Amino acid sequence: MIEYDGIRFNALISRRIMKTLVEYDPALEDIDPGQLEAKITKSVFMAAIAKINNMPFFPRVAEFCESSLLEKCDPSVLTRGGFSPLCTDENRIIVAISNPWNPAADEYIAMRFPDFEIVKIVTLTSEISRSIEAVSSNAGPSRDELEAIEVEDTGDKIKDFDVTKDYEEPMAQLIATIMATAVKQRASDVHFKVEKESFYYAFRVDGDIGKKTELPMKLKDRLDAYLLNLMKLPAEIRNTTPGISGRFTISYYRRPIDIRYERHRTYRGYHITMRLLDKGHLDVTLGKGSLAFDDSTLLALDKVMKIPAGIIVMSGPTGSGKSTTLNAILREMNTPDVNILTLENPVEDEIPGVTHCDLKHPSEFKPMIASFMRSDPDIILMGEVRDIESAELCIEAAVTGHKVLTTIHTPRASQIIERFEQLGIERWKIAQTLKAACAQRLIKVLCPYCKLEQKGIGEKERMIYGLDDSWAKRTVYNHLPDGCQECHGSGYAGRTAILEIIPITPKVSDMLSKGEITPYELELKIQDEGVLPNLRNNGIKLLMEGKTDLAAIGKMIDMSTDE
């Protein structure tokens, strides 16, 4: 039986789905149904569902949803049933559904809109969530209610925190409102900071921290204790531990979202960072969504994935999508004939068929890897190389014939080798085991609704970014200074990944071992050949295609040249 995107299908329907998918792609004929999520996109799967039921499939429908229809419905019923009314046409009402075999849509819509004929279309579950959340609001408690909170009252512990529910307690309502807004704006992080005369929170969206929202200073301890309470941690830990790590789960219209919590003491109080791991909006398919690399990058990645043994390292700053890309690579490698083990902190994306292990404490790292090596693995993913111990274990696993995927913090791909050396690994060991050094960045994409055409780039900017004189007349794009309503005033709509890959061939490995070439010289050599993907060149390509602007590229990529 098939289970996909949270929907389980019986044996008969599963066979019909597989038959339709094989007609679309014959390569899927011998695949195990449990591998479908790793091999095809949600759009392809839902298009097959629509075809079986002789219904049209629309991957994007939220923009066409009429708020007046949703206001007459219960959001929890719509989310639970996987459907949403979209619009009306004379005596017909168009309803988006994610599971054509579920009768809930017919029953509920017929009761709410008895005078309309129901016309159903198939769409993605995430689109139904988007249409519902587009008109759902949670105003939260008033300033007076916040000021009236008794700071000594810690409240009862709660197991599940539904951020779309109305709470009588103002503190619970405040946190629910903040987290619901963060999910709706697709924030990656929520920050709470206490400074000398202010206490505020802010969202990080598309890589940038947005405006600060002030909170009453007297609530800082109460909010701090409430968040610890969500994780069932005692409030006293604040005074005894300099850094606190934890996790909890929120429910957003019945969609579970993991929250990774990190708190450290500051001079004036504390700084809390909560990372939202929203798998409902996670697209980890190579060539799709935020990982829509160009053909040359995908070809280079295909070559990397075919390497039988050795280390593949993905580098970049925090928030550059390194782990997401490695998970996408794992999905491509995930076939029934291989045993894949991962050691992560935390596990961000569970892949069916892959054994995921969560590192609870740094002291567990070495014994866990030792256990991995005795578990007959073919592929091992280590979350990050941070010290000499983790670097040596990577080398050991690669030398014994395993394929190892990991991440490291370096600005450029060539600096991966130097970073391993700084950790204490000899150059020849690195050269023998490292098979691909990759660097990734996430570049903000211009909002299609407010981007503006610009004729040429000024001389000063050309000099700053190392662009030749041809850019003086080339058409480029930027955005309205204050953005628009669609992009929440940012001027951008999401991000896309660009990649740099330096393959370590046997010849290159020998040259590095003998000191005949430095890592930086290797990078320049590959850049001059112009065959493999390069961060600077890929950034310029996005600029030429009108997908981004100079400001977004310059923020993420070193555009300087040696010319």
Please provide residue 62's backbone torsions phi and psi, each rounded to the nearest 5 degrees. Answer: -60, -35
- Judge whether 548 and 465 are in contact, CB under 8 Å: no
Query: Around Cβ 306, how many Cβ atoms within 10 Å?
Result: 8
Q: What is the pLDDT of residues 304-327, one digit of tens each?
A: 888 888 899 999 887 788 888 888
pLDDT of residue 119: 93
pLDDT tens for each residue of 279-291: 655 556 666 666 6
For 24, other C-beta atoms within 10 Å of its C-beta total 14
Residue 365 β-bridge partners: none
pLDDT of residue 532: 75
Residue predicted with more confidence, 3 or 258: 258
Compute the distance between CA of residue 235 and CA of residue 197 in angstroms, rounded to an integer: 23
pLDDT of 482-515, one tens digit each? 888 778 788 888 888 888 888 888 888 898 888 8
Q: Model confidence at 529, in pLDDT bands (50, 70, 90)?
A: confident
- CATH superfamily to which 289-556 belongs: P-loop containing nucleotide triphosphate hydrolases (3.40.50.300)
Cis ω on the peptide bond leading into residue 308 (within 30° of 0)?
no
Q: How do residues 386-425 score in pLDDT, each as one tens digit?
A: 888 888 888 888 888 889 999 888 888 888 999 998 888 8
Give the model's pLDDT for residue 152: 59
Question: 38-47, 52-61, 223-232, 475-484: which range is least confident on average?
Answer: 38-47
Give the pLDDT of residue 527: 78
What is 3-135's CATH superfamily?
Answer: Type II secretion system, protein E, N-terminal domain (3.30.300.160)
C-alpha 189/C-alpha 334 separation (Å) is: 30
Do residues 451 and 441 touch, judged by C-beta distance below 8 A? no
The amino acid occupying position 39 is K
Per-chain mean pLDDT for the chain: 84
Domain positions in the chain = 3-135, 143-280, 289-556
Q: Mean pLDDT across the stretch 537-552? A: 90
pLDDT above 80: residue 153:
no
Rounded to an integer, what distance in angstroms lies between the CA atom of residue 440 and that of residue 497?
7
Mean pLDDT of 541-557: 89
β-partners of residue 99 are none
Band (pLDDT 50/70/90 cuts) for residue 347 is confident
CB 417 within 8 A of CB 519: yes
How would DSSP label each residue in 239-264? GT-SEEEEEEEEEETTEEEEEEEEEE
Report the share of the chain in percent with pLDDT over 70. 91
Kindly indicate whether the domain formed by 143-280 is annotated with CATH number 3.30.450.90: yes
Q: Count CA atoms closer than 13 A to 369's CA, side-chain side.
A: 23
More confident residue, 300 or 87: 87
* Res. 213 pLDDT band, cuts 50 70 90: very high
Question: Is residue 93 over pLDDT 80?
Answer: yes
Mean pLDDT to the nearest integer, 24-38: 78
Cα 230 to Cα 36, 183, 278: the distances in Å are 35, 18, 18
Q: What is the pTM of this model?
A: 0.65
Q: Where residue 158 falls among pLDDT bands split at 50, 70, 90?
A: very low
How much is the average pLDDT of 75-91? 86
pLDDT tens digits, residue range 434-454? Answer: 988 888 898 999 988 888 998
Q: What is the dihedral of CA 167, 173, 175, 176, to 10 degrees?
A: 60
pLDDT score, position 285:
66
Beta bridge partners of 245: 262
pLDDT over 70 at 136, yes or no: no
Residue 194 banded pLDDT, cuts 50, 70, 90: very high
Render pLDDT for 349-393 as a digit per residue (tens, 0 to 9).
778 888 888 777 767 777 887 788 778 888 988 888 888 888 888
Show Cβ contacts of residue 87 under 8 Å, excluding neighbours closer than 6 positions.
Answer: 64, 65, 66, 69, 93, 94
